[in-house]
Chain A
Amino acid sequence: MTAQAATTHAAPADAAPEATAPPPPRRAAAPPPLSRRLARRFATPLSFVFAWAVLLGLWELGAAAGWFSDRILPPPSQTIPFLLAGEATVGFGTQRTGLMEAISVTLVRISVGLVLGLVAAIGVAFLILQVKLLRALVLPIVQSIAPISPVAWVPFAIAIVGIGDPAAIFVVFMAIFGSMCCAAVAAFDSVPQEYRKVARSLGAGTAEMWRTVLLPAAAPSLMTMVRMSFFAAWMAVLAGEMAGINSGLGYLIIMGQQMYNMKLVMVGIIAIGVVGFALDRLLLVAQRRIVWWEDAQ
């Protein structure tokens, strides 16, 4: 059987190199209509303010109309002056601590616990991925620790390191370490095999693989995991502070309850909401900067 030796029909479309004018990049699509862009830009902050204004207005109205007791649910007109006058304090004399101290004490505990938990979780996840035996030995333990309620650790924490910062940090750490570690293992496991194959065939060693492929590829999941853990850390530290670690925002609220000072409780709750929301937004900004190639929500 013979094929034409020189079948140079030179089908030009086949052989021509790609035209010099490149197709437009995918990102540069036509901008969405103005109304949509405006909505995206302002809807969130505007609706945020509006929703709160409606709720607070109804609250004030309800208290004024006597639908509920203003001693149990103090309306904004009582809470805000109380907050601004700096009366949201607990303790007397030299032991007297204000709202700002309570916030900073709690925030330090959260931050230190979160950073320690993150480092430990990624470290243990690294070992679990690198050493097959550890996946069998360590991962089941981590998975068993994850669902334990952080408050359950409080007695241990107080017995071992006493009341105060170390106990609170320990509680935060225990609250987030297990779930963070499981999530980190899952994040590293789900890095596409092809990325690893490509990196290996391009000559990457183990250290380089972790630094340039596994960590960046898992970074979006890891950042989401940090934000989720931040909420868990808030809840854990407040629970701990209410259950015997006698300082911080949780303690402030529990003292408000014991002194039947609902304005104090309300101020504590507002502080938690405002600070928590602000920090989550900060984390979101950080997430968008760190994993710039992903579209974080």
Chain B
Amino acid sequence: MNVRLTAPGEAPAMPATRTIATPNAAVEFGRVTKTFGDVTAIEDVSLRVPAGEFTVLIGPSGCGKSTLLSLAAGLEAPTEGFVTAHGREVTGPSRDTALIFQQHNLFPWMTTEANVAYGLRSRGMARREALARARELLAMVGLSDFSKKPPTALSGGMRQRVALVRAFATEPTLLLMDEPFGALDHQTRKIMQAYLLSTWRDSGATVVMVTHDLDEALMLADRLVLFTGQPGRIAETLDIAAPRPRSRDDPGLREIGARLERHLAAAAEAAEFTEAERARLASR
């Protein structure tokens, strides 16, 4: 049994035995609710992210996935419940946590190497040393020639690669990614996924990634967490044990994919149309 499914009814909380069995959670959300004004972004979410695993959060837009990342990063505080990282409550941004967004967010006023060196400099490394290390890291991803260039001189895929290198430069134990490849074309995205997997395996970091892309989720995840909106709740958690590199033709993955597809389609429809509109569409 490589693929373990949790029945939809079993969610949202993980089974108690599992909770005890994995004390080495990199991130834990305990009955977290987060509201922004009148809007409840996520409601009563409990989730353990085991250390060293690749967890993918997937669900319709507006289901609070990104909010969960902000909470784990310490950029937001939960309205109710608690968030811990490595057993300690998250109270603010941590040096062990790195963030990657859909936009690469490289600083255009710095050279590529200065961007990569930024986190090292923030940690008190001397300028020359940090830049030398940055060049080393860029060389490892084949971007030596671009270290002195501004990010504007790079292609979309290269920029996102530099953003990954910048995030990994400080050797974070937790990497939070918010649709990191959403802005890339299909081919570049596949290349970046392969690159991410190899970097992640070497680093031993815990990855939590938010994506809309079901295919991406199936290719990358050790564990898939399916959300419903709005407010965001966990609908289902499932482990995918198929070894990597995975094939899109794997029948087990395809079966999960088809089922998740139906779930996401229903959730998207629920988010896009009102009750009345759905009734009207159905009556036609």
A interface residues (Cβ-Cβ under 8 A, vs B): 1-11, 13-18, 20, 22-28, 192, 194-195, 197-205, 208, 212-213, 216-217, 219, 291, 293-294
Contacts and interface: CB of A to CB of B under 8 A. Distances in A.
Contacts of A5: 2, 242-243
A11 B109 contact: no
A216 B2 contact: no
Contact of B149 (A2, A13, A25, A219): A25
Given A216-B107, A293-B109, A22 B142 contact: yes
The 8 A-B residue pairs with the shortest CB-CB distance in the complex, in nearest-first order: A3-B252, A203-B122, A202-B119, A9-B247, A216-B109, A7-B250, A25-B153, A293-B108
B251 A4 contact: yes
21 contacts: A1-B252, A2-B3, A2-B252, A3-B240, A3-B250, A3-B252, A4-B242, A7-B243, A7-B246, A11-B248, A14-B245, A15-B245, A18-B161, A22-B155, A25-B146, A25-B153, A26-B155, A202-B122, A203-B170, A212-B110, A293-B109
B150 interface: yes
B73 interface: yes
A29 B97 CA distance: 38
Contacts of B219: 14
Given A4-B251, A197-B101, 4 more contacts: A22-B146, A197-B70, A197-B99, A217-B109
A8 B243 CA distance: 8
Contact of A27 (B153, B158, B243): B153
Interface residues of B, number: 61
B161 to A, nearest CB: 8
A289 B146 CA distance: 21
B3 A22 contact: no
B111 to A, nearest CB: 10
Contacts of B119: 202-203
Contacts of A17: 142, 191, 194-195, 198
Contacts of A6: 243
Contacts of A202: 98, 118-119, 122, 166, 170
A26 B5 contact: no
A197 B250 CA distance: 38
A82 B2 CA distance: 95
Nearest to A208: B122
B152 interface: yes
A243 B119 CA distance: 55
B145 interface: yes
Nearest to B153: A25
Interface in B169-201: 170, 187, 190-191, 193-195, 198
A8 B99 CA distance: 31
Interface of B: 1-3, 5, 70, 73, 75, 93-95, 97-99, 101, 103, 105, 107-110, 118-119, 122-123, 142-143, 145-146, 149-150, 152-155, 157-158, 161, 166, 170, 187, 190-191, 193-195, 198, 219, 240-243, 245-253, 255
A16 B93 contact: no
A14 B244 CA distance: 11
A194 B101 contact: yes
Contacts of A25: 146, 149, 153-155
A203 B123 contact: yes
A27 B152 contact: yes
A122 B50 CA distance: 46
A8 B249 CA distance: 10
A1 B243 contact: no
A18 B109 contact: no
A203 B95 contact: yes
A3 B3 contact: yes
B118 A212 contact: yes
Contacts of A28: 153
Contact of A18 (B99, B123, B195): B195
Of residues B3, B99, B157, B195, which shows the largest number of chain A Cβ atoms within 10 Å of its Cβ?
B99
Nearest to B143: A22
Nearest to B94: A201
A201 B98 contact: yes
A294 B152 CA distance: 10
Contact of A293 (B95, B150, B195, B252): B150
Given A25-B154, A194-B101, A201-B98, A14 B122 contact: no
